[in-house]
Amino acid sequence: MSQLNSTPRKALVVFSGGQDSTTCLIQALAEYDEVHGITFDYGQRHRQEIDVAKQLASQLKLASHKVLDTTLLNELAISALTRDAIPVSHELMNNGLPNTFVPGRNILFLTLAGIYAYQIGCTTVITGVCETDFSGYPDCRNEFIQSMQQTLALGMDKPFTIETPLMWLNKAETWALADKYQQLELVRDQTLTCYNGIIGAGCQDCPSCLLRQNGLDDYLNNQQQVMDSLNSKQASK
């Protein structure tokens, strides 16, 4: 066997402990020989997600799990996710963005993930951002991801791939993906997506919880149709 073929395939997952990143992690564990996780502590309002990420990383037996202090982002970016005094709103701000948008968050996270991936010998970084069914964040768009991928490769003179398994999936299809790997119950009951820090079904009021629950209801009511749609999208990649 050639050295190339015997080299283990490694991936680093940007892992928050939420539905999307946990689903990406589950898929990565099935597709890669070695999976690492990186979680960012930026003083987020729902920082219970860090403990959830630690628990899931241990439970799913990641090769490593790094929690990185990025609280400098909290000092710079004023958002409902970085200031407890700012209520999470269902209305858009004057700039057309949700008040949960944290400016520069994914720019910083993907940059730091790229640096860490470089150190541990990964050329693939996986993130759960999604353009099809997202909260209006500009740093979740495919155009942004492609730009960051090129920037990382140029800046470190090394080929980098940023994989986005959920980019063109809606929330129902994301639930179907977890179910495809027989982990729907784990994602449903043990992840934290809620902006108010409640595990599982969450507060059932914040925008993140509503998006998550609507997607789950859609999947459970139309399982075969949604699974067929997921398989079709994955086959066309």
Binding site for Zn(2+), residues? 194, 203, 206, 209
Angle between helices 19-31 and 171-180 (to 10 degrees): 40
Please enumerate, by residue number, every residue annotated as part of a binding site: 15-25, 194, 203, 206, 209
Alpha-helix residue ranges (DSSP H) falling in 10-141: 19-31, 48-59, 72-76, 105-120
Q: Which of 82, 123, 63, 76 is nearest to 104 (CA)?
A: 76
Please enumerate, by residue number, every residue annotated as part of a binding site for ATP: 15-25
* 206-229 burial code (b ≥16 CB/10 A, e <16): bbbbebbeebbebbeeeeeebbeb
User: Exposed, middle or buried: residue 47 (CB in 10 Å: 0-12, 13-18, 19+)?
Assistant: middle
Amino acid found at 86: I
